[in-house]
Amino acid sequence: MEGEFHSHLEEKVRPYIDLIDSLRLIGIEEDMSLPRIAVIGDQSSGKSSVLEALSGVALPRGSGIVTRCPLELKLRKIRGGVNWRAVISYKDEFIEFSDPSEVEGYVETAQNELAGEGVGICDDLITLEIMAPDVCDLTLIDLPGIARVPVKGQPEDIGHQIKNLILKYIEKNETINLVVVPCNVDIATTEALKMAQEVDPEGKRTLAILTKPDLVDMGTEKNILEIVRNQVIPLNKGYIIVKCRGQKQIDDGLSLTEATRVERDFFRSHEIFSCLLYEEKATVQCLSSKLTQDLVDHIKSSLPLLSEQIKKQLWDMRKGLSHCEAGPPLDPQKRKTFFIQTLTTFNDKINRLSSGEVVNNENLFVLLRTQFKKWKEHLDGTKESFHQTVQDVVKEYDLKHRGKELPGFSDYKVFEMVVQKCVSQLTAPATDTLRIIREIIENQFADVSKACFTNYPYLQSIAANKIDNIQSKQEAKVEQRIMEQFEMEQLVYTQDGIYFRTVNETQTTGATEDNFIVSQRLADQVPMLIRYFMLKESAQLLCSEMLGLMDGVNVNEALREESEAGRRRADIQNRVERLAVAQEKLNQFGSKDLLQN
């Protein structure tokens, strides 16, 4: 009969537990809480003993604080004559072992590593997964016992620390709280029960376990009976009374299997408690099936909310993902194509920029025109001072060099000096214009690089280098050309009739000449040189050099993403994948569930 009940229960229970386990396995707990059972109680109330009895696994026990980190105990029933197997994992550790007697040692080592040796506690979770044929499918969390007074070596606020740690687990709506209370204390004043009632006032997810019934003070058995029957401090889920191994039985080497028999015998033969057996309120076995059923009910009632949460988060994440820029594909061939595309997009923008399209926020050509206009204005300004220069030079020549000639007679020597002086006055403004424009263009090129290679710092730095090199080279070239131009002006105008006349006219009449040709020519020539070499040719050089990267550069290196943006996208992508899998699992489960009922 009993076996049948259990296997029937198992059939109904297993899929729910598996569902939650599979969700846990894909890491959905990073996004939301999953149903689970936490064990709380005062120090030495018998928490570990209960867990031991449920799991059939000996856990570290003793007096004082023994459980110093939350310990997640995952019990998995394995069918088909498989041997006992366990895995303990914490931080980066992952240790498999097959000898049950090693559990205590491994848990202790883990605690020492996480919480340090001694009596400190730590929030980090240790997970102990046990696969065996004779356990029930449960996941339980053992928590440090509530301590009232710090012992030597513990901080003053240890009680506070432990309570906070416990609260973190029991306050979640998804957690069933197992409150362990020994029969030989004043149950009404138990701290653990108070805490559980605070976080779950309706007692929907609180189950109390009374331990040590063999230690009940003579004459108080009746009170205990009333409590177990839910007549004193009523809890929605009620009470279960269990008897575990006492210290002496452990010392005597009583096995857990034997303990189950001893427990049954104890209740059967108990004058007052024996009725609880038939009321299904006593023994570890009864606790185990009740817990399992509770957990399943709990899972069932949590599923709609869980499904809702997943749906909502998935929606949010997908929206978030659509705001992230697409990353490079992982497939090598596609990655190469993507790389070429990225370079081509860059080149295309640079070309469009150099032919006057507005690619960045500002219009490059407007910026250039502003500078060229300044240059022209400068030339116009010097035109006025030109007449003054001529007169100065002539006067100076008269004073220093005139021999037999008549005053004011113009010769080539004078012209040459005039032109030299004028031209030298123009050199600095011309190179200034060049320098300013180089800066403007360089900035615009860099903006294109930033826009096209947002997530690729490597490409950005390569582009920045190339831009700088090319612009330096081109600037030197333009400067050279401007100088040549000025030299040509000197040469041409000292032999030029118009110029000759202009100088003479200026000299004799002082009239201004509007069509002063040097000024006109320089006004066109300097901008033309700058625009051609600094923009047009620079753009061409840059494009061809960037395209050259296609062969030389390591694609993986080039497309290594700027960590922040890449990490953010990868994180969202992971979550989306995880949530989608979870949703799929829930959907499948839902339809199976419908078919079954």
- Binding residues for Mg ion, rule: CB under 5 A, are 47-48, 66-67
Nearest distance from residue 212's CB to Mg ion, in Å?
14
Nearer to ligand GDP, 246 or 320 (CB): 246
Q: How far apart are CA 538 and CA 442, in angstroms?
A: 10
245 binds, among Mg ion, ligand GDP, none (CB under 5 to 8 A by kind): ligand GDP
Closest chain position to ligand GDP (CB): 246
Q: Which does 174 bind (CB under 5 to 8 A by kind): Mg ion, ligand GDP, none?
A: none
Residues paired with residue 180 on neighbouring β-strands, in sequence order: 41, 209
What's the closest the beta carbon of residue 221 comes to ligand GDP, in angstroms? 15
Q: Say whether residue 349 binds ligand GDP (CB under 6 A).
A: no
Q: Give the CA angle between residues 494, 497, 502 to the nearest 5°.
A: 85
Using rule CB under 6 A, residue 47 touches ligand GDP: yes
Interface with ligand GDP includes 48 (CB under 6 A)?
A: yes
Closer Cβ to Mg ion, 65 or 482, answer by number? 65
Q: What is the dihedral of CA 86, 91, 93, 95, to 10 degrees?
A: -10
Return the CA Rg of the chain: 44
449 binds, among ligand GDP, Mg ion, none (CB under 5 to 8 A by kind): none
Q: How far is the CB of 207 from ligand GDP (least distance, A)?
A: 16
The interface with ligand GDP within residues 144-203 (CB under 6 A) comprises 145
Classify residue 567 by burial, with Cβ atoms within 10 Å: 0-12, 13-18, 19+. Answer: exposed
Q: Tell me which of 28, 49, 296, 306 binds ligand GDP, using CB under 6 A.
A: 49
C-alpha pair distances (Å), 198 with each of 80, 162, 195, 201, 559:
44, 16, 5, 6, 54
39 or 523: CB nearest Mg ion: 39
Q: In what order do the strands lie in the sheet with 71-77?
A: 93-97, 85-90, 126-132, 71-77, 138-142, 36-41, 175-182, 206-211, 239-241
Residue of 537, 423, 434, 432 lying closest to 478 (CA atoms): 434
Closest C-alpha among 532, 377, 46 to residue 242: 46
Minimum CB separation from Mg ion for residue 216, in Å?
21
Only one of the segments 219-227, 244-252, 254-262, 289-297 lies at the binding site for ligand GDP (rule: CB under 6 A); that segment is 244-252
Choice from 43, 184, 351, 443 touching ligand GDP (CB under 6 A): 43
* Whole-angstrom distance, CA of residue 178 vs CA of residue 138: 13
- 477-500: b (≥16 Cβ within 10 Å) or e: ebbebbeebbeebbeebbebeebe
3-state helix, strand, coil in the chain (%, to 5): 65, 10, 25
Amino acid, single-letter form, for residue 31: D
Distance CA 158, CA 511 (A): 100
Nearer to ligand GDP, 273 or 456 (CB): 273
Among 13, 35, 61, 459, binds ligand GDP (CB under 6 A): 61
Q: Which does 49 bind (CB under 5 to 8 A by kind): ligand GDP, Mg ion, none?
A: ligand GDP
| Tokens coding 95 | 């240790």
Return the number of the residue (204 or 261) whose C-beta is nearest ligand GDP: 261
Q: Which does 314 bind (CB under 5 to 8 A by kind): ligand GDP, Mg ion, none?
A: none
At its nearest, how many Å lie between Mg ion and the CB of residue 105? 16
- Backbone phi and psi for residue 433, each to the nearest 5 degrees, phi listed first: -60, -45
Instruction: Choose the one of ligand GDP, Mg ion, none that binds residue 215, judging by a C-beta under 5 to 8 angstroms depending on kind.
Output: ligand GDP
Residue from 25, 95, 215, 366 binding ligand GDP (CB under 6 A): 215
Binding interface with ligand GDP (CB under 6 A) = 41, 43-49, 61, 66, 145, 211-212, 214-215, 243-247, 250
